[in-house]
Chains A and B, each alone.
Chain A
Amino acid sequence: MTANAPASIIPYNAVNTKSSRTFERQAEYAPEDFHDHLFELEAEGEWIVQRVPEPYVEVMTKFGRKKKIPLELTWHHKSCGQCGHIPGYSTAIFWLNRKLNFKYIDPTDQTSCTAWNYYASATSNAPAQAGVAMRNFAAAYETGYFPLIHCGTSYGHYKEVREEMMHHAEMRHQVRDVMKKLGKPLVMPEEIVHYSEWIHAVRDRIAALQTRDFSNLAVTVHPACHYYKLVQEDAIYDPDIYGGQRTATVSALIVALGAQVRDYSTWFDCCGFGFRHILVQRDFTRSFATRRKIQVMKQEANPDVVITHDTGCVTTLDKSQFVGAAHGLDVGVPVMSDAQFAALAMGAHPYRVCQLHWHSTEYRPLLEKMGIDHEKAWAEFQEDLKDLKSGKKEYLTWEDVDA
């Protein structure tokens, strides 16, 4: 128990990813397997199904079905918030691919899924949203690489689009006509894959290359709503993680890296992002993030770090803590993505790769606990900035990072 924790809370050392309960999956509750319809429509000439390239790993999803996760030949569908405001997130995903020697494409023929705006303002409609999705899918298909979706909202929204395109012929034909005007085929991927599912699938490979000991780290996990609540059936579940009753994505990685996953009572709660709220009504976002998430984690689990797997969650949980601290709330936990956490475990530079200087909440004590000399790392990065400012270098390159 933490020193200030109330007596009634769940003792954190009594709960982690292990469950004593057994859980039998009941097939009668499973929704239809979308693959059947996907391939039927392909057989009818309605669209092309882009197959998951080999080699792939099969993982279990919510109702016990298998999902194929490609290891490489991935087309990285980047995220607005990651690239714009927390770029160490995307950089870490690419760095992991490079370290694992996997071929990938970081495309410029890619737009946002535009779903953040759609959920915030409703200034779009279902056919337009499907059009944006299908344009990106077609762009990936033209390269021969398979889409890997960085954003949790893009991932959830694209699955909504898949449902709508499968079941509403009129909308499918409207979008097909728009694609014809763009000179593009109508393509649906065999699976819609989130990058954190890829990390889940390669977590043992990541652990095999781990150079930093994380066994003294306590971690709380925040699962992203649009990952596992929005079109739920193909999120990853694993009987060895939470007894298969909560999504295993992220938590299984933490376990593989030897850190301790600590539970807390508001695990299922949203972060408070709110789409429109984070941009124009942040009083709600700040209150929810600090009072329902960070403060509860602190009091019940006292973690060294919060690990999550979506753009909005990292931003909300990290940036909201400044005001919470000013108001004397019990906050002050660094927040990062599973990709950044995995990269740090594999020896990545905290600034050149993980770009932690873009994050707000104090993270240096965490780096010390990881055995990272952050002062030395910061001095190295300052030298990089000096070279960029003086014109000695135009950009920091992957070669610089690997040097």
Chain B
Amino acid sequence: MGLFADKYPDVPYEEKSRLWEQVKADPRFPTYLYGCYECGICVAACPSARFYDFSPRKIAQAAAREDIELIFEQMNDDVWNCSQCFSCNRCPRQNSPGGIITVLREVSVKNGLKSAKQALEGYSRIIYKIMGTGTQVSPDMLQPDAFPDWGPQVRAVSADLDVWRRALPPETLHTTSTGWQVDDKTIIELYLIWHHTGVMDMIAEVDEGLHMILNDVMEEKLEEAGYEA
């Protein structure tokens, strides 16, 4: 049992333990945790620790103690606050709390945890863009209603987007719905990577609707190119 009160008593210990075993089984995990002497350097360097109730030291500590209940709590309540900047890699013990969090997040997504689904609400269009087109953000995402906090300049970009894109000398940048021009063959190769490495199954766990849409887009292109999706 852990040092703190179990915040998720309804989830069986065996289930929490099963998830932790998945974290430990990731081949990267042993290189992310060597032991923690609680110096707090990672916390001092961490941007998220300044604005959230969040501590990379606690992440390393819980993992080192194998505090199954606390780790489950962190998987639900903490990991999505991390900025993934890896400022915590300054650890004198060579730990990477940010790396541990990458793995914790991945296990959360793979197992369709409710907290992962909530964290990714509003994010589906980004996943669709990157997985479907091969570029993460596109010029036509710059719309005033999407970025009201970026000021009136966003309106200026969106108003004349097509012309502003054609006013770019590099030939690959005349696109508006992708960051740059990507070959069809290249996109198909990317789809094959997603299919052969289990990424589509991960998407199905956290967003069935998105999975269906992506699958439709990919199936059509893969079939046209003579591949079986």
Interface of A is mostly: helix
Report if B37 contacts A (CB, 8 A). no
Question: CB distance A275 to B84 under 8 Å?
Answer: yes
Which of A79, A119, A360 touches B153 (beta carbons < 8 Å)?
Answer: A360
Report if B219 contacts A (CB, 8 A). no
Report if A143 contacts B (CB, 8 A). no
Question: CB distance A274 to B28 under 8 Å?
Answer: no
Q: Whole-angstrom distance between the alpha carbons of A267 and B138 in the complex? A: 30
B side interface size, CB within 8 A: 83
Q: Whole-angstrom distance between the alpha carbons of A132 and B192 in the complex? A: 10
Within A72-112, the residues touching B (CB, 8 Å) are 78-85, 87, 90-91, 94-95, 106-112
Report if B106 contacts A (CB, 8 A). yes
Which of A109, A174, A229 touches B85 (beta carbons < 8 Å)?
Answer: A229
Report if A284 contacts B (CB, 8 A). yes
Report if A131 contacts B (CB, 8 A). yes
Question: CB distance A106 to B122 under 8 Å?
Answer: no
What 0/1 readout, one digit per residue, does chain B (137-178) give for beta carbons within 8 Å of chain A? 111011000010111011011001001111111111110000
For chain A, give the interface size range: 35 or more
Report if A255 contacts B (CB, 8 A). no
Report if A168 contacts B (CB, 8 A). yes
Q: Contacts A117-B126, A120-B126, A232-B89 given: A128-B149 contact, CB under 8 Å?
A: no
Chain A nearest Cβ from B9, distance in angstroms: 26
Report if B196 contacts A (CB, 8 A). yes
Q: Whole-angstrom distance between the alpha carbons of A47 and B138 in the complex? A: 34
Question: CB distance B171 to A395 under 8 Å?
Answer: yes
Q: Which of B12-20, B58-66, B180-188 contacts A (4 or more CB under 8 A)?
A: B180-188
Question: CB distance A87 to B168 under 8 Å?
Answer: yes
Question: CB distance B27 to A276 under 8 Å?
Answer: no
Question: CB distance B83 to A275 under 8 Å?
Answer: yes
Within A148-197, the residues touching B (CB, 8 Å) are 156, 163-164, 167-168, 170-171, 174, 177-178, 181-182, 184
Chain A nearest Cβ from B24, distance in angstroms: 15
> Which among B84, B160, B174, B198 has the highest number of chain A CB atoms within 10 Å?
B84
Report if A396 contacts B (CB, 8 A). yes
Chain A nearest Cβ from B76, distance in angstroms: 14
Q: Whole-angstrom distance between the alpha carbons of A164 and B32 in the complex? A: 12
Question: CB distance A111 to B134 under 8 Å?
Answer: yes
Q: Whole-angstrom distance between the alpha carbons of A177 and B160 in the complex? A: 45
Report if A273 contacts B (CB, 8 A). yes
Q: Which residues of B contact A120 (CB under 8 A)?
A: 84, 123, 126
Question: CB distance A81 to B136 under 8 Å?
Answer: yes
Which of B45, B116, B166, B182 touches A108 (beta carbons < 8 Å)?
Answer: B182
Who on chain A is nearest to B194 by CB?
A128
Q: Whole-angstrom distance between the alpha carbons of A394 and B185 in the complex? A: 26
Chain A nearest Cβ from B78, distance in angstroms: 14
Which of A79, A126, A181, A230 touches B89 (beta carbons < 8 Å)?
Answer: A230
Question: CB distance B47 to A292 under 8 Å?
Answer: yes
Q: Whole-angstrom distance between the alpha carbons of A94 and B167 in the complex? A: 15
Question: CB distance A269 to B47 under 8 Å?
Answer: yes
Q: Which of A2-10, A61-69, A242-250, A351-359 contacts B (4 or more CB under 8 A)?
A: A351-359
Who on chain A is nearest to B167 by CB?
A396
Q: Which residues of B contact A360 (CB under 8 A)?
A: 150-151, 153-154
Q: Contacts A85-B137, A226-B85, A358-B157 given: A276-B109 contact, CB under 8 Å?
A: no
Chain B nearest Cβ from A395, distance in angstroms: 5
Report if B93 contacts A (CB, 8 A). no
Report if B229 contacts A (CB, 8 A). no
Q: Which residues of B contact A122 (CB under 8 A)?
A: 102, 105-106, 108-109, 116
Chain B nearest Cβ from A120, distance in angstroms: 7
Q: Which residues of B contact A112 (CB under 8 A)?
A: 130, 134-136, 179
Report if B48 contacts A (CB, 8 A). yes
Question: CB distance A229 to B89 under 8 Å?
Answer: yes
Chain B nearest Cβ from A336, distance in angstroms: 14
Question: CB distance B87 to A229 under 8 Å?
Answer: yes
> Which among B102, B122, B166 has the highest number of chain A CB atoms within 10 Å?
B166
Q: Contacts A121-B109, A125-B202, A182-B192 given: A322-B197 contact, CB under 8 Å?
A: no
Q: Which residues of A contact B172 (CB under 8 A)?
A: 78, 83, 106-108
Q: Which residues of A contact B28 (CB under 8 A)?
A: 126, 164
Report if B193 contacts A (CB, 8 A). yes
Q: Which residues of B contact A79 (CB under 8 A)?
A: 179
Q: Which 6 A-B pairs have the closest CB atoms?
A: A322-B151, A122-B105, A111-B134, A80-B136, A128-B197, A119-B84
A-B contacts besides A85-B141, A269-B45, 15 pairs, CB < 8 Å: A91-B170, A108-B186, A117-B127, A120-B84, A122-B109, A123-B199, A123-B206, A181-B196, A270-B87, A274-B83, A276-B123, A284-B48, A292-B47, A319-B150, A323-B151
Q: B interface vs A, CB < 8 Å?
A: 26-28, 31, 45, 47-48, 50-52, 80, 83-87, 89-90, 102, 105-106, 108-110, 116, 119-123, 126-127, 130-131, 134-139, 141-142, 147, 149-151, 153-154, 156-157, 160, 163-174, 179-183, 185-187, 189-190, 192-194, 196-199, 202-203, 206
Q: Would you give 9 A-B contacts (Cβ < 8 Å), ordered by A?
A: A90-B173, A94-B169, A117-B131, A123-B199, A126-B26, A286-B149, A358-B153, A395-B171, A401-B169
